[in-house]
Structure 1
Amino acid sequence: MFGKQVLRGAATAAALIIGLATGHAQETVKVGVIAPMTGPFQTTGKQINAALKAFVAARGNTAGGKKVEIVLRDDGGVADTSLRIAQEMVTTDQVSILAGFGTTPNAMSVATLSRRAKIPQVIMVAATSSIMKASPYILRTSQTIPQIASVIGEWAPENGAKKFISVVSDYGPGIDAEEWFAKTLQQKGGEVMEKVRVPLANPDFAPFLQRVADKKPEALFVFVPSGVGATFMKQFVERGLDKSGIRIIAMSDVADDDLLNNMGDPALGMITGGPYSANHDSPENKAFVEQFKKLNTGMRPNIVAVSAWDALDLIYKTLDKTKGDATGDVFMAAAKGTKIQSPRGPIQIDKHSGDIIQNIYMRTVERVSGELYNNEFKTYEAVKNPAQ
């Protein structure tokens, strides 16, 4: 019943868009950004909003000879709300491009509308591989779980860690991380001794960490959503595992840049893999971090912020190519294959899938000028999403 209602809603919106297309003045290109500004994922929305503000201040509000207007709406992290807002944006606000999407369900809920109405949909956050197959009008500037997990699985056995227990949050991205880490690790001669899935809501890691202590693996592979890493590390230390010799080799979400300082000394030495560190050494990143902090009361950017920045950069560059034409097929043809010198390093939009190709860095948590940062020590260049 619900699925049919969603499809009917998306189809109705698509019909209205087609009706509006010829009459809508094209002097302004509106970009509708749907983000969780409230609710459990509000730190994601905060990073997106801060990045958009910094980008427009740095680059202006014109591209392709047209004014670019950003319409930001809060979905509270609720997928049904994302779809309703997207429909309102394209029918009432007359946006030409949709962007944002803090989680996979939110992105997927809007994909039917994107496909039927031929509206470009730019993913700034959601990282599950299957999103890209939901609509031919989707582009992604964030990251994918398999992209990172497979690199960690390749690096670890080459650097003294072959026997693992994996600990992941029990939902789609966590299961993706578990699968792709194990697959690559085993191909490189490693072994996952046990796979542990922890409830996403109100996680208590203590009983799972006791099993880790009993089995004595060489290392733990960990994936939990951004913000939960501090809880995991606190309980890891409380059980004395920081003195056990068991290494933590984790996805970048565990040591999120925005929250890393709050984790304190227990995070020191943690190794993670990911596409961005606020301490990335490049002129583009130095300028980005400076601009971001200046306009956002010293706030530190994370991967969400740089992905939102790159999403606007992609939109601006594409509009420059199309001379302001944001029509679905024209925009997508121009966007695919685009190369950007991002604050995270070089990125490219895959010319076939629309997914992101980017460097993945192995990093270790170190203290720099009194603050904790993820310091990159090895680069895997131009990594594609292996699940595509």
Structure 2
Amino acid sequence: MSIQHQFPDVHWVWKGGISFVYEVHPRIVVKVPKPGEFEGEQFRKELRIYEIFSQHPSCPSIVQCFLYADNGIFLEYMRDISLCSRIQDNHIRDQQTMVVTKVEMLEPLSLRKIWINDLAQAVAFLESLNLAHGDLRPENILLDRNRLKLSDFDCTAEIGTDFEACMAPYGRLLNSNEPDQGRRGTAGFLGPRTEQFALGSLYYLINYGYEVYGDRCLTDDPKEHGPKVVDLLQNMEFPELDGDPLIDGIIHKCWHNKYATVSDLAAYTKTLLPERTKEESNTGMISIPGWCLPIGRMIRGLWSAFRYWCALMLCRNGEAANTEVNSGKPSGHRCGLDENFPAEDFSSRKAYCQGLEKRGLLDILSSSEPEQLGFTLEWYRHSCHG
């Protein structure tokens, strides 16, 4: 029996640097490693980060993990394009020089402020675990409609380790005036300096609609533009900031390492949000009148029971899932609960993933390339889900 007949709801939706991503449910994907020693090692690095996440309360600005195993990670399906694609869709470029000549639309200022805070909160969460993401760039920031979350943790490492994935303009090489940060010409050590610098460049992208120096031709040969940006950033030469003064101030401070910690930055970005958004960010819930509570509890109870029943039916291994869900005890590869998913949602989705794992899906998907398994790329499917 072919995998398409055995698992008709599984579709190949993305090809990453170290992994393939498959949709297994309208709200769940699974990431499996590509064949290869390097890819396998990078995948194991990301797996170790999810193991760390599972031991702590989750962050709502990080893509939620439902279940992980040695050969696969089940994740929340961020059904839209990355921040990179979202921004680029509004570009008009000179096709010869690749310079952005026009930005057709910026996101609403209120949404940009939410995104700025979401990114700061995600990186501050990592910092609270003594971790730095190490590869903060728009390709690793995913969107589900207008919700933004941080993903891809294969370069994540402890604060103080070498910064290896340094890509301009989200990383910069050190100059001779920074001996305390590392050797000149290297990217230095991961920590608040590297993380806030990357955030500053991401904030620039979000608020100006193009990357740092992406709106001008710095060299006669377009191929030399990238190395020129590296040189400018190493010398602490930045484009003029003439947008929203409040956000420009944050960008300037991030580029110049003015925040002692990313947590300090996150505390400030939270003040940018409207009061209602702050309350929802703090609690994950919206306040409702007291007289609604009994009715709400009854509805939630019925809904929870219904979802629980569905999970048991869908996972096709109801007895194992029932034991796991009712016991409340973490399995050997359980990930933490995200405020975006109430307990009953998380449990039912986890049970669904457990069922797929029990039926051998991860072993099949990690055994070969998608095309050899009979899949074709179906990224368009994300637009079909409400």
TM-score normalised by length of structure 2: 0.24
Higher strand share: 1
Bigger Rg, which one:
2
Q: Which has the higher contact order (CA 8 A, sep 6+)?
A: 2
